Chains A and B, each alone.
With several copies, the nearest count.
Chain A
Amino acid sequence: MDSVYLQVAYFVAALLFIFGLKKMTHPRTAVKGNALSAIAMALALVIALVARDGYVFITVGLMVGAAIGVWLATTIKMTAMPQLVALFNGLGGAASILVAGAVLMLDPHQQAHELIATAATGVIGAVTFWGSLVAFGKLQELKAFKKPFHVPSQQMVNGLLAAFILAMCALFVVLNTGHGLVYVVIVLAASVLGVLLVNSIGGADMPVVIALLNSYSGLAAAATGFVINNVVLVVSGALVGASGLILTSLMCKAMNRSLTNVLFGVMGEGGEVADADEVYRNVRSTSADDVAMILDGAQRVVFVPGYGMAVAQAQHAVRNLAKVLEEHGAQIEYGIHPVAGRMPGHMNVLLAEADVPYEQLKEMDEINQTLDTVDVAFVIGANDVVNPVAQTDPNSVIAGMPIIEVGKARTVIVIKRSLSPGFAGIPNPLFAADNTLMLFGDAQKAVLEILNAVKENL
C-alpha cells in the first residue's frame, strides 16, 4: 500500500477527470475541461512515479511516447481526425493488455477477482487494439483494407471464437495460478475476433465502431485498475466507457439503425437499389456564373455540408462565400445533420475551424422547420444526409433516417464531383429534382469559383 497521501492524490486526480468532463458540456469551458483532464493525467503520472524508482527506462519511454504523440497530433490534418482517434484508441487498448500481462508475470498468484480482471483486460484490450487498427486501415483507405476479406460462414466462426475465448477465461480463472500461456492464448484469440468483427463492417460505419471501441478501451483501463487496485483507472475507465456508449447510441439513433445492425452489417442488403441511370435521367448541371446570378436576389441562404466538405477542406471557402453574401444582405445559416461527415459533430469542428459564428449553426430539426422559406440551399459534398429516399422508400437501407429536407427550398445547388453515391451506396433522387442544380467539381474549387463570380457580379 502506498502512503495514504499518494492515495488521496489519486482520488483528487479521479475527481479532476470528472470535473474535466463536466466542463466539456459547454463550448466556452471545453478547453478548460480538456486541460483539467490533462492535468489529472499528469497528476496521476507524478504520483505513480513518486511511488517507485528506477526512472531511466521509464523516462525514455515517456519521452518517446510524448514525442510521437505530439508529432501525430500536430501534423495531422483535421480530415484525418477519425483515423487518428482510432489509432490512439488502439494503442490505449494495447497498453492495457501489456500492463495486465506484465503484472501477471510479476505475480502469477492472483486472487480470483484479479484473475477475472486480468482476463477481461486481455479480451477487451485485444479486441480494441485490433479492431481499432482495422478501423484505422479502412478510414485511411489503405489498400489492404479496401475490401473486407471473405471468411466462410463468418457469423459461426465469430461465435465459436467467442465461445473459445470465454472457455479460456474460465480456465484461466479456475487454474488460479495465473497461467501466462493461457493469457497469451486469450489475447491471441481475442485479437483474431477483433479483426474479424471489424473487417466485415463497412468503412462508413467506422465512426460507430470507433466510439464503441473507445468505450471498450475505457473498460479495459478500468479492468486494469482492478488488477492493480487503482482508483484513478477505475474511475476514468468508467467515464470513458460511459462516454463511448452514449456516443455510439446517439449515432445509431441518428441513423435510425440498431447497434446490432451496424455491427453485424446488413448494410447494402436491404431492398433492391434503384437503378442510378433511371433516377438520374433528368439531372441538370450548372456553372459557377449561373449560381452567382441565382444568388443575386437571395434573401435566405442555407449551407448543408457533408463529408465532401471535409475531403475538399472547403470550409474556409464556404465561410468566405457566406461572408460576401451576408454583406449583400442575405441571411446565412448552416444546417448540420448529426451524422454528416464521418464523426459525430464532424461538421461543427470544421466550421468552427473556419470561424463560422455559433448562432448560424442550426441543428437538423431546427433548420427543417424553416427550409421552405429559403431561397438557395447549398449542399456541399453531402449526399446521404439529404437523400429523400430515407423518407419515401421503406425498403431503402437508409429508411427512417431523419434527413435535412433541402428539397423544400426554392433552389437547391448540389456541389460534388460526380453522380457517384455517398457512403450508403444508393442513388439520390434529390439530384434530379426540378428545383435542383448540380455543380460538379471539387467542393473547394467550386465554391471559390462561385465566390469570384459573385464578386464580379457586383
Chain B
Amino acid sequence: MQRVLKWSCATAVLLAFTAAGLAWAEDGVKPAQPEPTTVKSLQKQLLEENAPAPPKTESVETASAATASATAEDIEAGGLSPSVIALLLFIFVLAIFIGFEIITKVPPTLHTPLMSGSNAISGITIVGALLVAGDGQGVSAFIGFLAVVLATINAVGGFLVTHRMLAMFQKR
C-alpha cells in the first residue's frame, strides 16, 4: 500500500512538473506565434474592466449572452494562466492523497459497494459532456449527446446498483 501510495504520488508530482514545464515552455518559447485567442480574451477582459456599469436592460442581455457563450469561451480562450492549471494539478495531488487516506479505511465488507460506487463517481465526465453537447455544430453536438447518454448510464446505474447493495447491509 505504502509503495503504491509513494509511487502514485511520485508520478503525480512528475506529471505536475512536466505539465507545468511545458506550460512554461510554451509561454517562453512561442511568443512570436500569433495567439489570437489569448489576446482576444485579454482584450475582452480589459474591455469589461474599464467599461462603466451598463444600464439595467443591457446588463440582462449581456448576462444571458455570457451564459450562452460560457462554454464556447471556456474552450476558445483555452486561457488558463499557468497558475490556474498548476493549482488544479496541486488539487489533483491533494485529492489523490485524500483518496488514499479515506479508502484504506473502508472495511473489506464494503469493498464491492466501494468498487461500484466509485465507478459511478467516475461518471462525473457527464459534466464535461453537458458542456460540449448540443453546441449547434452538427458532429460535435452529436458526439456530446452520445457522451451525455453514456456517462448518464454510468452514473445513474452505478449509484442505483450501489444503493441496492448497501440497502442490504443496512437492514441488519
Contact = CB atoms under 8 A, between A and B. Distances in A.
Nearest to B145: A61
Highest count of chain A CB atoms <10 Å: which of B26, B111, B165, B168: B111
B102 interface: yes
Interface string A200-242: 0000000000110010011011101111111111111111111
B126 A95 contact: yes
A57 interface: yes
A31 B162 CA distance: 8
Contact of A99 (B9, B98, B99, B125): B125
A152 interface: no
User: Which of the four size classes fits the interface of chain B?
Assistant: 35 or more
Given A31-B163, A235-B92, 7 more contacts: A57-B145, A70-B160, A111-B80, A113-B26, A222-B92, A236-B121, A247-B115
B96 A112 contact: no
A12 interface: yes
A343 interface: yes
A101 interface: yes
B83 A99 contact: no
Contact of A102 (B68, B98, B112, B144): B144
Highest count of chain A CB atoms <10 Å: which of B23, B93, B134, B146: B134
Interface string A67-92: 01110111010100100110011011
Contact of B103 (A52, A57, A243): A243
A15 B95 CA distance: 10
B111 A247 contact: yes
13 contacts: A41-B159, A58-B134, A88-B119, A88-B153, A106-B75, A211-B115, A217-B119, A228-B74, A229-B88, A242-B96, A247-B114, A348-B108, A352-B165
A113 B115 CA distance: 30
A89 B119 contact: yes
A110 interface: yes
B147 A72 contact: no
B99 A69 contact: no
Interface of B: 1, 4, 8-9, 13, 16-27, 35-37, 64, 67-68, 70-76, 78, 80-93, 95-100, 102-137, 139-141, 143-172
Interface stretch (A17-25, A393-401, A405-413): A17-25
B131 A27 contact: no
A105 B160 CA distance: 33
B111 A250 contact: yes
A271 interface: no
A191 to B, nearest CB: 15
B75 A103 contact: yes
A245 to B, nearest CB: 6
B100 A24 contact: no
B122 A236 contact: yes
A257 to B, nearest CB: 15
B157 A84 contact: yes
Given A52-B131, A105-B139, A233-B127, A112 B22 contact: yes
A182 B84 CA distance: 27
Contact of B93 (A15, A41, A100, A229): A15
Given A34-B166, A345-B113, A234 B133 contact: no
Contacts of B89: 11, 226
Nearest to B96: A238
A80 B77 CA distance: 45
A228 B80 CA distance: 10
A248 B115 CA distance: 10
A435 interface: no
Interface in A348-391: 348-349, 352-353, 355-358, 361, 363
